[in-house]
Amino acid sequence: MAITAKNLDKNEYFYGHKACAGCGGSLAVRAALKVLGEKSAAVLPAGCMSAVGFNFPQLCFGNNAIISMFAGTASMLTGVEAGLRRRGIKDFHAVGFAGDGGTADIGIQALSGAIDRGDDIIYICYDNEAYMNTGIQKSGLTPFGARTTTTPAGKNIRGNIRPKKNMFEIAAAHDIPYAATATIGYINDFMEKVDKASRIKGTKYIHVIAPCPTGWGIPVDATVEAAREIVDCGLWYLAEYENGEFKINRDPGEFTDPAEYLKKQGRFKHLTDEDVDVIIKSRDKKWEKIRREWK
Amino acid sequence: MKPYLREKKSFAFEDIPEDTCFEAGYLVTVNSGWRSRTPQIDNEKCIGCGQCYLYCPDGVIAMDGKTPVIDYDFCKGCGICAKICPKSAIELR
């Protein structure tokens, strides 16, 4: 069933937090918890969402939530799920919210282990494309060309020289029961994927793009707009992996101009036309494969 | 229900729990001091679609039937609601 403003849980489970105005990550956490409800146990590793959610005595989660060590989001989820099951508690969701660094770099072996064991957990990666909590350092999910404090833009090197790690397909390669990509720009699609994940047994992985106004160099009211444009210009895609098959949910057909999306952001301001061409070429290559091989 | 502002706001060292557990949804400070502009809803233009409610990162807009109501204690004034509104019924002032 489609999730709309009307049938969504009216309660708020992430409220009064100290995230920056216009934070994309906090919208992802809020929306996911509204779908999963009060009987969800949230696990958050070091990162923005644990830093803004737990400032004793200001505790902003309305459900049970715990901070894990940076590398151990998925392993703590395993323990939470096993513990609650052992105590006879039913109809709960063990859900993790880790950033891109906590997923693709530091927490990848714990996540891989949890998928391998087939634990009944939901792992949500909110991807703001760098280590934003510590002051914008490059992570494995920082896209090509982005300026961060560890990949500065100068005369010789113009921002990050490596492409974004393909975390969605890495999770899918484990033959995971369910994996999906989403963006906070299309929040209904994201919430429907969380809802679908909550009904599937086994490990679920959802990768959601959550722009960060501070790190991306965009106005605080442009977060949702940027999260839409990244899909419309083809630099991100909405897809699912289920029963061993990839499925593309939304093919924009004609893409909007990526240069327009890139030039709005402070982190891409330095890019030359040749750099943009490199980005467009890699996008076209990716989409050619998607259109050929995915349903 | 949502996390709400409590009356007990400061804790002496002895009050702090020895283990790491504490009550969920315990708020002691507001976020209203963060903003320089405040969103105002024009209820005549509003069609009650709930887009502002769905996209607010802080969850401060609640739908009272078809009328959005803003909790100004926790609104940070980011302006996403004004930008997302299909009828331009929200203005930042």
pLDDT at res. A1: 66
Contacts of A85 (CB under 8 A, 6+ apart): none
Supply angle C-alpha A28, A56, A91, rounded to 5: 50
Q: Supply the pTM of this predicted model.
A: 0.95
The DSSP bridge partners found for residue B64 are B67
| Rounded Cα–Cα distance for residues A107 and A44 (Å) | 11
User: What percent of chain A has pLDDT above 90?
Assistant: 93
The residue behind tokens 């901070």 is A67
Q: How many Cα atoms sit within 13 Å of A261 on the Cβ side?
A: 23
Q: Which residues contact B39 (CB under 8 A, 6 or more apart)?
A: B70, B75, B77, B79, B81, B82, B90, B91, B92
pLDDT, tens digit, 9 for 90 and up, residues A218-246: 999 999 999 999 999 999 999 999 999 99
Q: What number of other Cβ atoms are within 10 A of residue B17's Cβ?
A: 11
Judge: A22–B80 Cβ closer than 8 Å, yes or no. Answer: yes
Element (H, E) at B67: strand B67-70
CA A225, B49, A251: angle at the middle one, nearest 5? 45
| Rounded average pLDDT over A180-188 | 97
Cβ proximity of A218 and A264 under 8 Å: yes
Q: How far apart are CA A144 and CA B37, in angstroms?
A: 35
Q: A57 contacts in B (CB within 8 Å)? A: 6, 9, 11, 22, 26, 28
The class that CATH gives domain B4-92 is alpha beta
Give the closest-approach CA distance of A24 to chain B in angstroms.
Answer: 7
The answer to whether A65 contacts B74, with C-beta atoms less than 8 Å apart, is no
How does pLDDT run across A266-285, given as a tens digit for each residue? 999 999 999 999 999 999 99
CATH for the stretch A24-293: 3.40.50.970
Provide the greatest CA pair distance for chain A.
Answer: 61
> What are the residue boundaries of the structural domains of chain A, listed by start?
24-293
Calculate Rg over the CA atoms of chain B. Answer: 17
pLDDT at A2: 84
Using the Cβ of B47 and the Cβ atoms of chain A, whether some distance falls under 8 Å is answered with: no
At A69, which amino acid appears? M
Contact, A153 vs A125, CB < 8 A? no
- Pull the structure tokens for residue A10: 């009216």
Contacts of B57 in chain A (CB under 8 A): 19, 21-24, 26-27, 30, 223
Residue type, A4: T
CB contact under 8 A, B54 and A188: yes
**In the predicted model, is pLDDT for residue B19 greater than 90?**
no
Average pLDDT of span A255-265: 95
